[in-house]
A and B are shown apart, each in its own frame.
Chain A
Amino acid sequence: MHRETASPGITQFRLLADAMEELCSARTPDEIVRISAALARRACGADGVWVLLSTGELYHHAPERPAETLSRALRSKVIAHISAWTMEAGQTAVVPDIHRDERTRAHTNESVFERSLVVVPVGGRVPFAAIGAAWAQEHWPSAGEVLLIETLARATGLALNVRLEQEPPLDNEDTSAVAEWLHRAADNEGLRGTERRQKLILAETRHRVRNVLSLVRSIVSRTAGTTLSAEDYAADLAGRISAIGRIQSFVMRERGGSVDLEELVNSVLIANRAHPAHVVPVGPPLRLKPRAAETLGLALHELSSNAVKFGALSTHDGQVAIRWTRTPDQDPPSVQLEWVESGVKVDADAPRRRGFGRELLERSVPYELRGTATLDFNADGAHCTIVIPLTADNAVVVTASAVD
């Protein structure tokens, strides 16, 4: 009925030794998993191998199966549950029949191809991955096979760990020319593993900090030219620097560095003590890249602080409608954000706009984001329209279907 269980002999362990050598020179996580799966196939007749990292990333390979069969199987809860179990227990799980094992039977369904599993936690006391071999037919692995899979899993885990240490953070998707250049510089110094990763992270952090300091310095000198009194200067400057600080903490919080537009809008409004009853932000979900978040965040800060001082948020009856819409039909698609104040009796004597905010909108938005911005003062308040192209530079581009 079920497959013969033969103990692996010299041949199998020789294959394992060969695979280890290949693992050492593998360049990508996918390649590592392919080598691992090929060995599991040849030495133990396994139909596929998967690696589930504790961060949720999944790599898999099934040499003689259509790719979609395994990926469908991997979406099954069996893999998730048995991987979680093995990492928590810190011990290998041997499941000859997923329909009968109490750790898996509640999660099986007809569509999965795997019948038998050996799953090994990798990473010592705090496992960072579960590595599993799967058989399509019921298979009772011998003690020798389990040992072989365990050894293979540890080698695979080690190879993967070294490789992942050398990669930029996985969700950073930073394949830019700059990232490549930094990696080459690290190559030239012969850096590997943790040391290399630290060097790259430090380089990016320093770069960011120094750029922010540069921006702050130029804003300090620019603000000096646009205010009338020392008090105004201090207040405007404090507001702008706080805004930069808040945007930076947003950018640093997410590993990929993207910022949710609605969160950005709300944080700017809260910081300017805009009462939520007077402001209505509406728009579809949209994630901005750091540069776009910085520029737009500063622009929104200027609009808010102006509204609080002189505009719709300076009176009890004022309102601000903030609405953004995506215009997917344009090429490239863009986002249009409107800031519309109402219920203000505009005081003809009030300072209309200090030069800084207008410059930020009308010069910096086109310069940095290739967008456009217009700012008008109507009878009942300010009206600003900002259009930003949703290029890969500016936003995490989501397909329209994912949003609708």
Chain B
Amino acid sequence: MFERNSIDTTPHELAGHFVLVVEDDYFIAEEICAALRKRGAAVIGPAPDVEHGRTLMDRQPLDCAVLDVNLHGEHVFALAGELRARGVPSIFATGYDASFLPNAFRDAIYLQKPIDIAALIRAVKMTSRSHSTRRN
């Protein structure tokens, strides 16, 4: 699924990446954000719900978003759709099986919880690279 030879372990491999994180569990959100920050990413969030995520999305350009699916009983797909409309790809980090993802997001990267941090980093790099035209 991911290229194995491109793992870059330098501390700032995600420098310059703006990543939105939406996750309703505080400690899980902190773990994701800490892992991204440690590698130099600029973390937007974390947001505990869709409403908050939407506010953050409007505030600045993003390279990609790491989204939990079930946020206090609300699902994240509407937000993912709005992000996609702006050209921002989503990475879904969830405890649900991939088979539950709506068809519209079948091509998105799916990370099963508990998420593998290395896979998360690779996913952020991969999705953001395809999106790198945004900031020239």
Contact = CB atoms under 8 A, between A and B. Distances in A.
Given A178-B75, A214-B114, A367 B48 contact: yes
A181 B100 contact: yes
Interface string A144-185: 000000000000000000000000000000101111011011
Contacts of A203: 96-97, 100
Contacts of A182: 96, 100
B114 A291 contact: no
Interface stretch (A96-104, A217-225, A332-340, A377-385): A217-225
B90 to A, nearest CB: 15
**Which one of B30, B48, B77, B95 has the greatest number of beta carbons of chain A within 10 Å?**
B95
Interface stretch (A205-213, A230-238, A266-274): A205-213
Contacts of A295: 26
Interface residues of B, number: 28
Interface of B: 24-31, 46, 48, 69-70, 72-75, 77, 94-97, 99-100, 102, 112-115
Contact of B113 (A185, A210, A221, A364): A210
A104 B30 CA distance: 63
Contacts of A222: 27, 30-31
A218 B30 contact: yes
B100 A185 contact: yes
Contact of A215 (B25, B46, B70): B25
16 contacts: A181-B102, A185-B100, A203-B100, A207-B70, A207-B95, A211-B113, A215-B25, A217-B31, A217-B114, A219-B27, A222-B31, A291-B72, A367-B26, A367-B46, A393-B72, A393-B73
Leading 9 A-B pairs by shortest Cβ distance: A176-B73, A210-B95, A207-B95, A364-B26, A218-B31, A214-B114, A218-B27, A210-B113, A367-B26
Contacts of B96: 182, 203, 206-207
Nearest to A222: B27
Contact of A206 (B27, B29, B74, B97): B97
Contact of A209 (B70, B74, B95): B95
Contacts of A184: 102
Contacts of B102: 181, 184-185
Interface in A256-307: 291, 295
Given A207-B70, A208-B95, A213-B114, 7 more contacts: A182-B100, A211-B113, A214-B25, A219-B27, A222-B27, A222-B30, A368-B24
A27 interface: no
B113 A213 contact: yes
Nearest to A370: B48
Contacts of A185: 99-100, 102
A363 interface: yes
**Which one of B24, B46, B73, B97 has the greatest number of beta carbons of chain A within 10 Å?**
B73
Contacts of B70: 178, 207
Nearest to A393: B72
B75 A367 contact: no
Interface of A: 174, 176-179, 181-182, 184-185, 203, 206-211, 213-215, 217-219, 221-222, 291, 295, 363-364, 367-368, 393
A177 B74 contact: yes
Given A209-B95, A368-B48, A363 B73 contact: no
B87 to A, nearest CB: 24
A214 B75 CA distance: 19
Nearest to A219: B27
Nearest to A217: B114
Nearest to B69: A178
A181 B31 CA distance: 27
Contacts of B113: 210-211, 213-214
A176 B46 CA distance: 22
Contacts of A174: 73
A219 B48 CA distance: 18
A357 to B, nearest CB: 13
B97 A368 contact: no
Contacts of B31: 217-218, 221-222
A208 B99 CA distance: 17
A294 B70 CA distance: 16
A298 to B, nearest CB: 9
